[in-house]
Amino acid sequence: MFLEQAINGITLGGIYAIVALGYTLVFGVLGIINMAHGEIFMFGAFVGMLLVSKAGVPLPVAFLGAIAAAASMGLLLDRFALRPLRKRPGASHLASLISTIGVSILLENAAHRIFGAGNHLFETPFSDIRFQAGSVTVYLVQAAILGISLLMMAGLSLWLSRTRAGKALRATAENLETAGLLGVDTNRMITATVVIASAMGGVAGVLVGMAFNFINNRIGLSMGLKGLAIIIFGGMGSVYGAMAGGLILGLSETFVVAYGPAGYRDAIAFVTIIVVLLVRPQGLFGQAVSDGKP
């Protein structure tokens, strides 16, 4: 029982972490929360749903489709809602926050028009396959979700720490102006970051469909709020904070449902976050001071 719940918690936490990473990457380079991220994630889920449940294509193809859709939306978001504001000298960087809110409302309503307000079944082809090890039952879907989210987290960490572009992204996140003066095309770096974050949102959308078997046009908001809570909890802009925060939130929610008053699931999860923030206002992996910024 305990082990099963732990597996459930880590599975859910993995999805939370992927959603939170999308927020934290963009926060790192732009210093704002991308309020449209939840809706891009939702469109990823819908594209995945259409491909799997309606078109009947294999799951990996659905992932590719969701990634392509979400990444293109990220590209459009940057091109039309973020970049025009970046070019204006003297414009507050919060202006782009407001424009992402606009995009988020637009996307939510578009989803409502296209897909309606009801729940859509997300049929994973192998949803009944499970393994039994003693008293522990693990569904193949869970293993797949866990595997994919861990793979993405590992891939992202390696990319950030090993590759030239990853280092340039971290440099841009730490100090945009200095990175620019050292020859990093920071505009291109920001675009790449928004696209990568959105693509991760697309993956997370399919993972949520796999985990809950249904999606609707409101999952963007609910998942988005969790993602936001996690990055505040883990430390704004911190990649490892988003990963750890996602797993902690997933585990605590699951255990509350399993052993405690299930109705308080979200409440207890958020109380945990509040308590941590009282002790560490900068979040788990955040830095107390942001030095180096002018």
Per the structure block, which two tokens stand in for 291? 């030095």
**277 alpha carbon, distance to own chain's centre:** 21
The span of 18-26, 62-70, 97-105, 169-177 binding other proteins (CB under 8 A) equals 169-177
The span of 6-14, 104-112, 183-191, 209-217 binding other proteins (CB under 8 A) equals 183-191
Per the structure block, which two tokens stand in for 223? 């998942």
Q: Does 54 bind other proteins (CB under 8 A)?
A: no
User: Between residues 125 and 180, which has the closer beta carbon with respect to other proteins?
Assistant: 180
* CA distances (Å), origin 107, targets 36, 83, 127, 226: 8, 19, 29, 19
User: Between residues 134 and 292, which has the closer beta carbon with respect to other proteins?
Assistant: 292
User: Between residues 155 and 261, which has the closer beta carbon with respect to other proteins?
Assistant: 155
CB distance 90 to 65 below 8 Å:
no
The span of 125-133, 176-184, 256-264, 271-279 binding other proteins (CB under 8 A) equals 176-184
Which of 31, 84, 125, 180 touches other proteins by CB under 8 A?
Answer: 180
Distance CA(76)–CA(83), nearest Å, equals 10
Which of 60, 90, 134, 292 touches other proteins by CB under 8 A?
Answer: 292
Q: Does 171 bind other proteins (CB under 8 A)?
A: yes
Nearest-approach distance from CB 84 to other proteins, in angstroms: 16
Burial of residue 117 (number of CB atoms within 10 Å: 0-12, 13-18, 19+): exposed
Number of residues that bind other proteins (CB under 8 A): 28
Distance CA(199)–CA(116), nearest Å, equals 24
Three-class SS state of 290: coil
Q: Does 164 bind other proteins (CB under 8 A)?
A: yes
User: Between residues 175 and 213, which has the closer beta carbon with respect to other proteins?
Assistant: 175
Per the structure block, which two tokens stand in for 157? 């960490």
> DSSP string of 222-242?
HHHHHHHHHHHHH-TT-HHHH
| Long-range CB pairs of 50-55, under 8 A, 24+ apart, other chains included | 52/122, 52/123, 52/124, 52/125, 52/206, 52/209, 53/120, 53/121, 53/122, 53/123
Q: Does 93 bind other proteins (CB under 8 A)?
A: no
Q: Does 179 bind other proteins (CB under 8 A)?
A: yes
Distance CA(271)–CA(181), nearest Å, equals 43
User: Between residues 136 and 181, which has the closer beta carbon with respect to other proteins?
Assistant: 181
Q: Does 157 bind other proteins (CB under 8 A)?
A: no
Which of 97, 143, 165, 268 touches other proteins by CB under 8 A?
Answer: 165
Q: Does 72 bind other proteins (CB under 8 A)?
A: no
Three-class SS state of 176: helix
What is the binding site for other proteins (CB under 8 A)? 159, 162-168, 170-171, 174-175, 177-188, 192, 287, 291-292
